[in-house]
Amino acid sequence: MFTRLRTALARLPWWLVLLFGVACVVLGGVLVARPFDSLSVLHWLVAAALIVTGVAEIVSASASTRPWLSWVTGVGWIVAGVLAVAWPGITLFALAVVIGIALLVGGAVRIASAVFGGGDERFIVGLGGLASVVVGLLVLSWPSVTVLVLAVIVGVGTAVFGFGQIGIALKLRGAPSGSVEPGELAREETRWPMWVRLTGVIVVLVLALGGAAISAAIHRAQPDAPPEFYTAPSPLPDGPPGTIIRSEVIDDFYQGATAYRVLYTSTGYDGDPTAVSGIIVVPDGSAPAEGRKVIAWTHGTVGVASKCSPSLIPDYGPTLAGIEEFMEAGSVIAATDYQGLGTPGPHPYLVGESEGVGALDSVRAARNLDEADASADFVVWGESQGGQASLFTGQLASTYAPELNLVGVVASAPASDLVDLFKAKSGDGTAVGKILVSMAISSWARVYDDAELNQILTPAARPLVNRIAENCILNPAQILASVPAATALNVTFLSEPPWDTEPWTRIVAENTPGGTTTGAPILITQGEADPIISPNIQQQFVNKLCDSGNTVDYRTYPGIGHVTAAHDTAPDVVQWISDRFAGKPAPNTCP
């Protein structure tokens, strides 16, 4: 369809054709090497390609066996190209919509042409149309990754086209004036054997179907919406925070224990009563006369969407760090989901007070569960996000839940100094760092009335951040769904640093633990090979805790990373917790 374009180019002076070819090769190379760094270039290139393709289709209509199909196709491509040009500040997703619709329309017309037309190439045309439809659907369903792939494809095509123009230029230079007919030269440059074209179409179709299968598998990895259990009655039942609204037994949660999925009352991030879900694990056997000790478990990052609730995870029991030792010791585990996970959102991700309140009310809920026989004595332990939640639980315990007796706080690889963490993760180039920062920004924009995404994010970054916030990250397949959008954020992300822009500066400071002294001793465990929470940042945070008069036992572990920090350090943590329940003096590594 580009023969007429190539014929027009072949009529130009050879040196102009050469320059044009070199420019196409360079542009194609840039798109292939750094497709997301070239979003604006991709925008204009795709728009121009759509318009040129449409014009070529219309011009060739007279030679077609179905002229009206060529007209429909041509007009469709031109309209798509004009829309892409006229869309100011087009985003990655908007560009994907334009490309996806254009591919669907073009593919449908090709299929119709193959069905109703004639000729020896009906099969190739039909397969090509089917491939176009599949790729179009893939673009619309998974825009981040498919636009990346299409950028590479467009880049390769542009580079190949440029090499062809260089070849034409060299032929024109070496031929006597008037001895080469431009149209014939263009047709020679584009004439491929039928078997080559058929092979190419089949390869594209197989790749498109493979991409569609991968996309479907990744989307299936995301959990379903929470069931009716997580919907609280309106109004909420009377009673203090920690009142159990409903509970149900979770079958086969952990051998030697009975687990209860609970919905309990708490205090929301806005100060109003709310419902929070969680799990209470009760060991088999009789409770001691004084009641069972309680381990308040605060989980790490799983996502900010309601469907990401840990209490919905199948086979969650064995993943709880130290569960075997705690059940053998006769302790109860109270594992909050936090507000907005399981229950309707938003989830106040890394909002320390909300997380701490949810954890304290989970201990109250355990005490209100008759089967638990829980005492007022408890330790709180969390990892990553849960480490921050654990530290805030310690800060809030004496004022929010004075009837409880907190004997220790454990934080494994906690999200501690948020300013330093945001600075490190916003610019480190890793997908995981961008995912975590995006979840925090998206959550805070929904939780705080005066926080808006347009205060700190570029226009192109906002839909990417919102898309990341829709996904859970409970396993590698779920994380993969957010990687393309996170990769795109390496190009365009923050317009203003949140740590220097109000109200975000205040929000970051409010949710950094350590603002008040914790009455109970603290244990912090940190892996020295942690790629998410830098050991240097953690050491500086520990120094601040020590300077504030806290009793801190800080332990680092060579070779241990982030995701498994709680499990890998569990033997030491379990012993430390046992010593606190036994009333032994807490070690203090502060100078």
Residues 436-483: tens digit of each pLDDT: 999 999 999 999 999 999 999 987 788 889 889 999 998 888 888 888
Look-up of token digits 């006229």: 86
pLDDT digits (tens, 9 = 90+) for 279-304: 999 999 999 999 999 999 999 999 99
Q: What is the pLDDT of residue 503?
A: 96
Looking at every residue in the chain, the average pLDDT score rounds to 84
Q: How confident is the model at residue 2 (pLDDT cuts 50, 70, 90)?
A: very low
**Nearest residue to 485 (alpha-carbon basis) of 158, 1, 36:** 36
Q: What is the pLDDT of residue 556?
A: 97
- Whether 180 has a pLDDT exceeding 70, the answer reads no
Q: Give the range with max mean pLDDT: 51-65, 83-97, 391-405.
A: 391-405
Q: What is the pLDDT of residue 70?
A: 67
What are the residue ranges of helices labelled H in 1-66?
3-10, 14-33, 39-59
Q: How confident is the model at residue 272 (pLDDT cuts 50, 70, 90)?
A: very high
Q: What is the pLDDT of residue 551?
A: 97
Q: How confident is the model at residue 100 (pLDDT cuts 50, 70, 90)?
A: confident
Task: Pull the structure tokens for residue 249.
Answer: 């037994």
Phi-psi region of 501 (alpha: psi -120 to 50; beta: other; left: phi over 0): beta
pLDDT digits (tens, 9 = 90+) for 21-55: 788 788 777 766 665 555 555 667 666 666 766 66
**Nearest residue to 135 (alpha-carbon basis) of 80, 212, 77:** 212
pLDDT digits (tens, 9 = 90+) for 108-123: 877 887 777 666 667 7
Bigger pLDDT: 251 or 93? 251
pLDDT digits (tens, 9 = 90+) for 337-346: 999 999 998 9
- Which of 5-19, 259-273, 484-498, 509-523 is the least confident region? 5-19
Q: Which residues contact 585 (CB under 8 A, 6 or more apart)?
A: none
534 residue type, one letter: S
Q: What is the pLDDT of residue 11?
A: 59
pLDDT digits (tens, 9 = 90+) for 196-209: 667 777 887 787 77
Q: What is the pLDDT of residue 382?
A: 97
**Dist CA 568 CA 587 (whole Å):** 20
End-to-end Cα spacing for the chain: 76
- Whether 16 has a pLDDT exceeding 50, the answer reads yes
Cβ(5)–Cβ(56) below 8 Å: yes
**Dist CA 485 CA 93 (whole Å):** 10
Q: What is the pLDDT of residue 501?
A: 94
**Nearest residue to 470 (alpha-carbon basis) of 142, 246, 84, 208:** 142
**Nearest residue to 275 (alpha-carbon basis) of 352, 353, 336:** 336
Q: What is the pLDDT of residue 189?
A: 47
The model carries a pTM of 0.78
- Whether 507 has a pLDDT exceeding 70, the answer reads yes
Q: What is the pLDDT of residue 151?
A: 62
Q: How confident is the model at residue 324 (pLDDT cuts 50, 70, 90)?
A: very high
3 state DSSP class of 336: strand
Bigger pLDDT: 539 or 478? 539
Cβ(47)–Cβ(84) below 8 Å: yes
Share of the chain above pLDDT 70, in %: 80
Is-cis flag, bond preceding 318, omega within 30? Answer: no
Q: What is the pLDDT of residue 483?
A: 82
pLDDT digits (tens, 9 = 90+) for 68-86: 666 777 787 778 778 767 7
Q: What is the pLDDT of residue 43?
A: 64
Cβ(389)–Cβ(410) below 8 Å: no
**Looking at the DSSP assignment, which residues form a beta bridge with residue 277?**
263
CA-to-CA separations, 527 to 300, 333, 391, 430, 540, in angstroms, rounded: 15, 24, 18, 19, 15
Q: What is the pLDDT of residue 187?
A: 46
Give all strands (DSSP E) within 211-256, no chain letters. Answer: 244-250
Q: What is the pLDDT of residue 411?
A: 98
CA angle 184, 187, 189 (to 5 degrees): 110
Q: What is the pLDDT of residue 125?
A: 77
- Which of 89-103, 155-169, 183-197, 255-269 is the least confident region? 183-197
Q: How confident is the model at residue 381 (pLDDT cuts 50, 70, 90)?
A: very high
**Nearest residue to 590 (alpha-carbon basis) of 523, 533, 513:** 523
Bigger pLDDT: 495 or 2? 495
Q: What is the pLDDT of residue 89?
A: 57
Q: What is the pLDDT of residue 131?
A: 83
**Dist CA 144 CA 486 (whole Å):** 9
Compute the average pLDDT of residues 397-418: 96
Q: What is the pLDDT of residue 589?
A: 96
pLDDT digits (tens, 9 = 90+) for 216-231: 777 777 888 999 999 9
Q: How confident is the model at residue 64 (pLDDT cuts 50, 70, 90)?
A: low
- Whether 188 has a pLDDT exceeding 50, the answer reads no
**Nearest residue to 576 (alpha-carbon basis) of 257, 253, 325:** 325
